[in-house]
Structure 1
């Protein structure tokens, strides 16, 4: 059937090529309209209770779009006219940035921060520094005194040492302009920066905006990788077609995939750009195998291009299709994770791999069928001739090692020890971020330096809120509810991961203190709801609409306890959530319920929980897909088990590396883990099929292993060396840490996969002699391999292996 399909394809190659050109032009037009952008909502797990809580209350209590701006003086304190003017200027200017929620701008210069005083003239509730700035030394001294005496401000919006002030601002999801946000904030703050005043900015919207600003750099690195791949292919394949055809296959498949994605209305997230190179690597890998096999067919049988193309397509279509099907199935498993971003990545990756069934497995043989020039005339002479000899010697040494009497046992023993060691170290992998700050950027980046400075001054800038959902209006004025919240906050304050916390209970207690001339003995909740109502009313005197919304809704049925965490590492978030859940379970609240969890940390906590719960499931499903596809393709359950060790070694080695170097398993690295299932096994398919092919001719299993390493093994080496080198470009040149780490992980995965395919697969074949490889009787068994120097692949031991022209 495959031979008939191959002959039909080559016979109708002109029609197929014309259709390919027309479709490529159409998809190219569509791909040029593909949007590149990011939506934070895509990173939120659907159906998770934390996300439901966040979406229900984020409009008032603060969303994941919170941005923090810190002004820090180098000498003295911030109570200087120019520093106070800078605070006011930035606060007022934030209202002009697109997407800002004007009711969620809080700073020393906003109307929300107030001073409450009781005097003989009555009770006064006045903004600290609104609408006018203090203009005299006396007014500035009074402002300093009011700030120090107000625990809702001192330590939260003004640092304890009075050298820094914090401005927080929230953005509407549907109005935020992510692409221009970082530049807008920079333009606003730039006039106030000076040698004596530093301005630092952090927040998830800022991260996403900075990533978009790095797109030109990403494109430059991408072009450099394409150039490097072209040079490496030219040096390794030694023919122009060996360079151009794999690149053409990768380019056409990319155009088709991106065109289809654009037609479906999807956008390409910058976080997924490195993943696109992983998928493109599959196109290069299969194209290299086809091109190498084509040259071997022509050399072995002196065949015409059309005949050689038919032979290559009929022989390699099955392992190629099996490899692509495994890749598609493994990445499609990621779609089971209820995170829209990962579902889109899985769908895009599946589409991309799907189009390779034609753009690589069929298109490359079609193009090769027009290659009339002899292999010798097409050789490129700009390479070092020792490169090919070195490759042959290396493959020869591997063949000698595994063909040694004890070679398979030694290889298997070493692999078992490697699996045990990597499994032990892989247990330490971190779910979520493994380092403070943002893992998108390097630790010494400006953003992470700003985050560290804000954390140092204000003991945390990563926001989490616990919602208090009441059963009826005015629930938050009930003494029992407010006291329960106050006790909860006192317990929270003991958590080492929590830097600060605040709620409406703090407002009630602080107003009560102010009404009693600052006596801390009166920092209590009112005994009846009416007293608490009056205390809240006093705080809201001279307020704008929305000033209380950060702590309670308009009818006081729902409120929030706000927490600032020291960082958002996976362990920090996990420990905090666990402690909160334990307290809520052990201390039930009558008339209301605590609901976890909102804010950016609440969203990240939900993501981490989903990844933790689906990690084993996703890997197990991917392995099941591999088992089923292999069992069906080779019509043997034994084949389904045969390739699992390759995948396990690749996965465990990469996870151990991640654990050792502090790379967390998060939303960025999870797709790479799924793709690794396919990466770890593709190389093995070609090795196995070449062993089967040779065994049918010679009946000698060791000779068949040597032949497979000389032919398919060469393609494995070329592909692995090319892609490993190119992936390291991300690690060497990208200023985005997540891109660099993903490139490094992919390079490691490919290196381990290639090594296991070249060493472990032959060892398994020789040790266990699997029936799906040796079950068929050889067509032509000989005591010694055929010798025909025209079609031989020579090794260092002067033995030769070749393709029989009649069976090739």
Structure 2
């Protein structure tokens, strides 16, 4: 027989009861429940329609730090260089011979023409041996002579193929457009920022699909193999993998549903929180579309984070409703009491999340700023869907009798081995052990995080698996060509018509020599190489003359033979192409350091050495911005979250109890990244901020409930024991459930998602451990307590219940 007196049976008087003191917000929403549900249903339909038309998108310009000096230099001289930013390479391989085959050349010509007509390709800068601008030159008795590599008389005959071979040897394109072993050739296609036919930004998913359909699927066979690399292809492959993200999202949702049912023993208490969290995701996507945002590959995981945060808050509400229902409250009253007790800590936690995510805006990379907007919008809508809609729906549905009975058994059971153990950490001897353990983890984290690198740590595209088709294609090009796909471009600016001046060429020659001594640098090329080759040609091919001649007239004559892209139209800019083994962080850092030191020594009024263009140069600028921003971001995140917690609890000691466990998790996450070889880059930088945003919820909920019991006169151990039975139990469940859900991402074919799964699982679980273990240990030393209350025995569940009823009745 239940000995609980139903709260709903007691009609509180206007002077001191629930009705007389309920908040304005509670009255607004719970006195108009049907209207609130109708409005939110209409909003869900509208935002669902908007979300249905949102599509993955990506922009090369959004991936780069636009205000960095290197990028400003690149943008300033972008039109003077042959597509040294966003470009694709298509390597056509003859698997049964070399390129000097009539059938192969016919295929290469067709592919060249196919690429020429793909919308978005900068046709004026398209290069291959079939491009008229790719020429050969030589010195004869009659002077300089030359012509296109594919001559006008080419007909595929044996004589013409032999002539083609000779022309290629004279062109200096071996290793760049033609493989070192003559078994493949490259089509180099710079891309524009927009589609000239529609005027819209390039749709990289569509562009990547066109490459597959028009090139790979159409021409690849037993004798021809196609290899494609470039930013557009990486993004296209990532967007194509979005379906995999959706599958793992569904798996995580199913796991959460099953575990939530096992936790609550109530199907409707399991479905409604998940439904509200999914509604939050729908609202988020719909709002993004309405505000003109898209969903790029690096923010595709944000909807799941919104879902996870929604589940976290939803579990707290369901737990509170079950708690009140077990004490005899009706469906509506239980929901209202749960709303009353949780909406303030819930809103504070969500505001902390949103503002914390918004601090990512300090990073001057558009794709991260868009992610910050997406995450902040998602957190904002959770206030409506999970803090308001969820308790209103539960006021109609209620929890099942099985769930109520289970909760009553928990309430009546005064002992629980796990909660007793965790509550014992509030005793100072055990708390001291926990703090010493935490300090040991801090030392371990600091030691391990020393190996944390900024930028990519693997060759190819680290967002994809090493055995992905893209990375295999990239490896093929790097192995068979002298000019790798990782190009670092240095811009040498002079006065008009002075790029071929002897002093300029001599400075560039010295720069190239110094760069070629660096590990990771394959070669360096510029107009200097052309001038030296011409000098050799003018002197019967004698290698002793492969040097810069001080005769300016000869240098000018030699320089005019340089291929397109070696200097701009008025000869005031000369790019230096540095070909790298990879774009790893240390490789880029060494090139930047050497070039800046050289520029500081040789820059003058006559010559200015600028960094940087090329995909590797842009990557170097991005690494520099991220290295600075990672600490700036953490300072902002913790400052903002700490300030909000201070406004809420009005205690620096409380702020320390909440934030220090989060800081430990952030440090250990950096150590884990260093241990697993995950670099800090555009894709991973936001994870730490997102982890802090999610983890602060745990601390705020636990401390809010703990503070309630402490103000009721309970000892710290007693108050924390009661906190664990309610809020703490929900925090433990949420951390483990979400950790298991994202842990399944480890098996994703997209390495980016797998890395995120590992890091998020770690942060979900460790934030939970920090809130349950280290927070009470800190509280035992930081929270002031009287010796008398510390020695009081734990109150019985009946006494606790009566005390809490009085608190609600007289609030």
TM-score by length of structure 1 reads 0.90
Of the candidates 762, 786, 797, which is equivalent to residue 796 of structure 2?
A: 786
By how many angstroms is 1:739 displaced? 1.2
Note if 1:409 corresponds to 2:432.
yes
Whether the aligned pair in 1 keeps the contact of 2:298 and 2:367 (CA below 8 Å) is: no
Q: What aligned pairs does 1:271-420 form with structure 2 within 5 A after superposition?
A: 271-300=298-327, 302-372=328-398, 375-376=401-402, 395-396=418-419, 398-399=421-422, 401-402=424-425, 406-420=429-443
Paired position in structure 1 for 2:288 = 261
Whether the aligned pair in 1 keeps the contact of 2:455 and 2:680 (CA below 8 Å) is: yes
For residues 556 and 641 of structure 1, do their structure 2 counterparts lie closer, same or farther at Cα, with a shift above 3 Å needed?
same
Paired position in structure 1 for 2:759 = 745
Secondary structure of 1:804's partner?
A: helix
Whether the aligned pair in 1 keeps the contact of 2:82 and 2:190 (CA below 8 Å) is: no
Quote the Cα distance in structure 2 between the aligned partners of 1:217 and 1:65: 26
Quote the Cα distance in structure 2 between the aligned partners of 1:188 and 1:198: 10
By how many angstroms is 1:379 displaced? 8.3
Q: What aligned pairs does 1:515-526 form with structure 2 within 5 A after superposition?
A: 515-526=538-549
For residues 257 and 193 of structure 1, do their structure 2 counterparts lie closer, same or farther at Cα, with a shift above 3 Å needed?
closer
Q: Deviations over 1:703-722 (max 9, x none)?
A: 11111112112111221122
Moved more, 45-54 or 516-525: 516-525
For residues 388 and 609 of structure 1, do their structure 2 counterparts lie closer, same or farther at Cα, with a shift above 3 Å needed?
farther
Quote the Cα distance in structure 2 between the aligned partners of 1:378 and 1:787: 16
Whether the aligned pair in 2 keeps the contact of 1:109 and 1:130 (CA below 8 Å) is: no
Q: Deviations over 1:649-708 (max 9, x none)?
A: 110111111000111111111111111112222112222122222233452221111111
Of the candidates 555, 569, 578, which is equivalent to residue 532 of structure 1?
A: 555
By how many angstroms is 1:129 displaced? 2.4
Quote the Cα distance in structure 1 between the aligned partners of 2:535 and 2:220: 39
Paired position in structure 2 for 1:797 = none
Note if 1:100 corresponds to 2:121.
yes
Quote the Cα distance in structure 1 between the aligned partners of 2:316 and 2:459: 44
Note if 1:577 corresponds to 2:600.
no
By how many angstroms is 1:327 displaced? 0.9
Note if 1:462 corresponds to 2:486.
yes
Paired position in structure 1 for 2:629 = 614
Of the candidates 105, 111, 135, which is equivalent to residue 156 of structure 2?
A: 135
By how many angstroms is 1:727 displaced? 0.7
Paired position in structure 1 for 2:30 = 10
By how many angstroms is 1:195 displaced? 3.7
Paired position in structure 1 for 2:110 = 89
Quote the Cα distance in structure 1 between the aligned partners of 2:289 and 2:238: 21
Runs (4+) of structure 1 moved beyond 6 Å? 377-380, 386-390, 775-778
Moved more, 333-342 or 105-114: 105-114
Quote the Cα distance in structure 2 between the aligned partners of 1:79 and 1:475: 40
Q: Deviations over 1:777-804 (max 9, x none)?
A: 99xx97541343xx98xxxxxxxx8973
Q: Deviations over 1:397-441 (max 9, x none)?
A: 533652566321111111110111012111211111121111110
Number of residue equivalences? 777
Secondary structure of 2:397's partner?
A: coil
Note if 1:154 corresponds to 2:169.
no
Paired position in structure 1 for 2:515 = 492
Which structure 1 segments of 5+ residues have no match? 381-385, 541-546, 793-800
Moved more, 401-410 or 176-185: 401-410
Whether the aligned pair in 2 keeps the contact of 1:202 and 1:447 (CA below 8 Å) is: yes
Quote the Cα distance in structure 2 between the aligned partners of 1:720 and 1:784: 27
Whether the aligned pair in 2 keeps the contact of 1:469 and 1:593 (CA below 8 Å) is: yes
For residues 591 and 624 of structure 1, do their structure 2 counterparts lie closer, same or farther at Cα, with a shift above 3 Å needed?
same
Q: Deviations over 1:726-780 (max 9, x none)?
A: 1122222x21111111122111100101111111112222333x14xx69999xx
Quote the Cα distance in structure 1 between the aligned partners of 2:295 and 2:550: 57
Quote the Cα distance in structure 2 between the aligned partners of 1:232 and 1:112: 64
Paired position in structure 2 for 1:796 = none
For residues 67 and 803 of structure 1, do their structure 2 counterparts lie closer, same or farther at Cα, with a shift above 3 Å needed?
farther
Moved more, 425-434 or 399-408: 399-408
For residues 133 and 288 of structure 1, do their structure 2 counterparts lie closer, same or farther at Cα, with a shift above 3 Å needed?
farther
Of the candidates 183, 187, 196, which is equivalent to residue 167 of structure 1?
A: 187
For residues 86 and 499 of structure 1, do their structure 2 counterparts lie closer, same or farther at Cα, with a shift above 3 Å needed?
farther
Whether the aligned pair in 1 keeps the contact of 2:349 and 2:696 (CA below 8 Å) is: yes
Whether the aligned pair in 1 keeps the contact of 2:532 and 2:546 (CA below 8 Å) is: yes
For residues 633 and 483 of structure 1, do their structure 2 counterparts lie closer, same or farther at Cα, with a shift above 3 Å needed?
same
Of the candidates 243, 260, 267, which is equivalent to residue 216 of structure 1?
A: 243
Moved more, 14-23 or 341-350: 14-23
Note if 1:123 corresponds to 2:144.
yes
Note if 1:730 corresponds to 2:745.
yes
Whether the aligned pair in 2 keeps the contact of 1:275 and 1:672 (CA below 8 Å) is: no
For residues 745 and 389 of structure 1, do their structure 2 counterparts lie closer, same or farther at Cα, with a shift above 3 Å needed?
farther
Paired position in structure 2 for 1:56 = 76
Quote the Cα distance in structure 1 between the aligned partners of 2:159 and 2:506: 38
Moved more, 561-570 or 103-112: 103-112
By how many angstroms is 1:589 displaced? 4.9
Whether the aligned pair in 1 keeps the contact of 2:520 and 2:580 (CA below 8 Å) is: yes
Quote the Cα distance in structure 2 between the aligned partners of 1:309 and 1:177: 47
Whether the aligned pair in 2 keeps the contact of 1:297 and 1:803 (CA below 8 Å) is: no
By how many angstroms is 1:65 displaced? 1.4
Q: Deviations over 1:450-505 (max 9, x none)?
A: 1112112224211221112222x211132221222222222222222221222122
For residues 622 and 480 of structure 1, do their structure 2 counterparts lie closer, same or farther at Cα, with a shift above 3 Å needed?
same
RMSD, aligned α-carbons: 3.0
Whether the aligned pair in 2 keeps the contact of 1:274 and 1:743 (CA below 8 Å) is: no
Secondary structure of 2:310's partner?
A: helix
Secondary structure of 1:103's partner?
A: helix
Of the candidates 70, 73, 85, which is equivalent to residue 91 of structure 2?
A: 70
For residues 361 and 2 of structure 1, do their structure 2 counterparts lie closer, same or farther at Cα, with a shift above 3 Å needed?
farther
Q: What aligned pairs does 1:663-702 form with structure 2 within 5 A after superposition?
A: 663-697=678-712, 699-702=714-717
Of the candidates 240, 265, 272, which is equivalent to residue 267 of structure 2?
A: 240
Paired position in structure 1 for 2:9 = none
Quote the Cα distance in structure 1 between the aligned partners of 2:788 and 2:280: 39
Moved more, 662-671 or 361-370: 361-370
Whether the aligned pair in 2 keeps the contact of 1:105 and 1:170 (CA below 8 Å) is: yes
Whether the aligned pair in 2 keeps the contact of 1:107 and 1:168 (CA below 8 Å) is: yes
Secondary structure of 2:182's partner?
A: coil
Of the candidates 737, 760, 776, which is equivalent to residue 762 of structure 1?
A: 776
Secondary structure of 2:229's partner?
A: strand
Quote the Cα distance in structure 1 between the aligned partners of 2:716 and 2:400: 32
For residues 518 and 92 of structure 1, do their structure 2 counterparts lie closer, same or farther at Cα, with a shift above 3 Å needed?
farther
Quote the Cα distance in structure 2 between the aligned partners of 1:377 and 1:754: 24
